[in-house]
């Protein structure tokens, strides 16, 4: 196991029980998101991005109810020293993907959970035309949109919990460990 994997596992063991406005814990949300990516046949880097997309909620100062409104940037920065852009860029862009989808897809905003609608305002709200153009120019914008859709779905309180460690082989593959 690499050092970063041990550190990530420790973070989720210590902080993963937290809830930020959703009915599932952070670790349940992470695992459900990764399972959705895996079920969609995604490569290891996207499964890891799905698993770790909200790590910024667990490593930085947070609002006790809604988490960290800059968790996308915090998480991507934290992981950027050990993970490739195929992991970190979708994470960095997943809140922007929410803003983008709210702007360009009719009805998307209405499908968001209450917590996601609440955080939207703190993450910049709807995009301007220039922001839409800039988002579409991002090399990983399509991956960020897929990640965002799993993020939206991975809040099912009725799903049984899969252990975080079930995804360790993906982390090892992506980290080269």
**What is the extent of the structural domain holding 96?**
3-175
The model carries a pTM of 0.91
CATH number of the domain within which 120 lies = 1.10.3210.10
Nearest C-alpha neighbor of 88 from the set 135, 48, 40: 48
Q: Could you read off the pLDDT of 129-149 as tens digits, one per residue?
A: 999 999 999 999 999 999 999
Q: Could you read off the pLDDT of 1-59 as tens digits, one per residue?
A: 478 888 999 999 998 887 776 778 889 999 999 999 999 999 999 999 999 999 988 88
Q: Could you read off the pLDDT of 68-120 as tens digits, one per residue?
A: 467 888 899 999 999 999 999 999 999 999 999 999 999 999 999 888 888 88
Residues 6+ apart with CB under 8 A from 140: 85, 86, 89, 90, 92, 93
Count of structural domains within the chain: 1
Separation of alpha carbons 52 and 58, rounded Å? 10
């Amino acid at each position: 196991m690499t050092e970063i994997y041990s550190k990530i596992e420790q973070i989720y063991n210590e902080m993963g029980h937290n809830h930020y406005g959703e009915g599932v814990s952070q670790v349940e949300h992470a695992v459900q998101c990764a399972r959705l990516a895996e079920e969609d046949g995604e490569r290891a880097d996207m499964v890891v991005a799905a698993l770790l997309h909200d790590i910024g909620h667990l490593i930085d100062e947070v609002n006790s109810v809604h988490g960290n409104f800059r968790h996308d940037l915090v998480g991507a920065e934290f992981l950027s020293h050990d993970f490739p852009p195929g992991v970190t860029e979708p994470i960095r862009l997943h809140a922007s993907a929410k803003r983008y989808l709210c702007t360009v897809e009719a009805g998307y905003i209405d499908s968001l959970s209450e917590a996601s609608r609440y955080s939207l305002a703190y993450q910049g709200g709807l995009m301007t035309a220039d922001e839409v153009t800039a988002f579409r120019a991002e090399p990983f914008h399509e991956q960020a949109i897929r990640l965002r859709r799993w993020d939206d779905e991975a809040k099912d309180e009725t799903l049984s919990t899969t252990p975080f460690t079930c995804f360790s082989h993906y982390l090892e593959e992506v980290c080269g460990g």
